[in-house]
Structure 1
Amino acid sequence: MAAGTKFGLSPEGRYGDVGTMEGYGQYCPIALGAEVFAERWTPIILRNLFVGCHRFGEILEGAPGLSRSVLVQRLRRLERDGVVERGRLGRAVEYHLTDCGMELIEVCMALGVWGARWREVPPEYLDPYLALWMLSRLIDPASLPRRRVVVRFDLTDRSRPDRYWLVLARSGNEVCAQPPGFDDDGVVTLDTAWLVRWYSGAASLAEAQRAGGMRVVAPPWLVRELAGWGRLSPFADVRPARDATRA
Structure 2
Amino acid sequence: MGAPYRQFCPVAKAMELLDERWTMLLVRELVTGSQHFNDLRRGLPRMSPTLLSKRLQQLVRAGIVDKEVHGAEVRYVLTPAGRELRTVVESVGTWGVRWMGTLGDEDLDPKLLMWDMHRNIDHSAVDDPPEVVNFVFDDVTGAARQWWIVIERDDADVCDIDPERPVSVTVTAGLRALTQVWRGDTTWAGALRAGTVTVDGPSAARRAVPTWFAPTGLARVVRPG
TM-score, with length taken from structure 2? 0.90
Q: Residue 200 of structure 1 contacts residue 231 of structure 1 at CA under 8 Å; is this kept in 2?
A: no
Amino acid at match of 1:54: Q
Q: Residue 204 of structure 1 contacts residue 230 of structure 1 at CA under 8 Å; is this kept in 2?
A: no
Q: Provide the residue aligned with 1:191 in structure 2.
A: 174
Residue identity over aligned pairs, in percent, reads 32
User: Tell me, what secondary structure is at the counterpart of 2:190?
Assistant: helix
Amino acid at match of 1:178: I
Higher relative contact order (CA 8 A, sep 6+): 2
Q: Residue 198 of structure 1 contacts residue 230 of structure 1 at CA under 8 Å; is this kept in 2?
A: no
After TM superposition, the structure 1 = structure 2 runs for residues 165-244 of structure 1, keeping only pairs within 5 Å, are 165-170=148-153, 172-241=155-224, 244=225
Amino acid at match of 1:41: W
Unaligned runs of 5+ in 2: none
Larger Rg over CA atoms? 1
Q: Residue 135 of structure 1 contacts residue 229 of structure 1 at CA under 8 Å; is this kept in 2?
A: no
CA separation of 1:182 and 1:82: change in aligned 2, threshold 3 A: same
Select which of 118, 121, 127 maps to 2:103. Answer: 121
Q: Which runs of 4+ in 1 moved over 6 A?
A: none
User: Tell me, what secondary structure is at the counterpart of 2:84?
Assistant: helix
Unaligned runs of 5+ in 1: 1-20
Greater displacement, 134-143 / 147-156: 134-143
Q: Residue 151 of structure 1 contacts residue 187 of structure 1 at CA under 8 Å; is this kept in 2?
A: yes
Q: Provide the residue aligned with 2:126 in structure 1.
A: 144
The reply to whether residue 97 of structure 1 matches residue 78 of structure 2 is yes
Q: Provide the residue aligned with 1:5 in structure 2.
A: none
CA separation of 1:99 and 1:72: change in aligned 2, threshold 3 A: same
Root-mean-square deviation (CA), in Å? 1.9
Cα deviations by residue, 1:60-95 (Å, 9 ceiling, x for unpaired): 111011111111111011111111111134420001
CA distance, structure 1, for counterparts of residue 85 and residue 210 of structure 2: 31
CA distance, structure 1, for counterparts of residue 207 and residue 32 of structure 2: 23
After TM superposition, the structure 1 = structure 2 runs for residues 58-77 of structure 1, keeping only pairs within 5 Å, are 58-77=39-58
CA distance, structure 1, for counterparts of residue 21 and residue 50 of structure 2: 13
Cα deviations by residue, 1:191-238 (Å, 9 ceiling, x for unpaired): 001110111122221111110111101334433442224543311222
Q: Residue 201 of structure 1 contacts residue 230 of structure 1 at CA under 8 Å; is this kept in 2?
A: no
The size of the alignment, in residue pairs, is 222
User: Tell me, what secondary structure is at the counterpart of 2:142?
Assistant: coil
